[in-house]
Amino acid sequence: MRAVLGFFSMLALGLLIAAILVIGATGVMNNQGQLSGSGTLLDYVSVVIGLGMGVVIAVLGQIPWGELPRRAAHWIMTHGYRLRLLAWAALFVGVLVYF
């Protein structure tokens, strides 16, 4: 829940900053939500996609990448019997499909 609230707070902050930058760069906004003179709208979809990508990059930055090979090797060693059974099952299914 904390991650969801953090995402929405970041989204609100990003929209606020984007709106301030657009209004500051082009001038005053009229009542219809369009920028005065240009007639263009603030592209909220691009802002949301950019903020979502920022959150994904922040989450990926918190992953301890140096530990992943050790953890993967440990997982393979602990689940070796199941992996061996899956390999046999894939071999038998391959034989049934191709012959």
CA angle 32–38–41, rounded 5-degree value: 50
Q: How high is the pLDDT of residue 96?
A: 94
Q: Identify the pLDDT of residue 38.
A: 55
Q: What is the pLDDT of residues 77-99, one digit of tens each?
A: 999 999 999 999 999 999 999 88
C-alpha 80/C-alpha 73 separation (Å) is: 10
| pLDDT digit string, tens, across residues 27-74 | 555 545 554 555 556 666 676 777 777 777 777 777 888 899 999 999
CB-CB contact of 60 with 52 (8 Å) = no
Report the alpha-carbon distance of residue 33 to residue 13 in Å, rounded.
Answer: 19
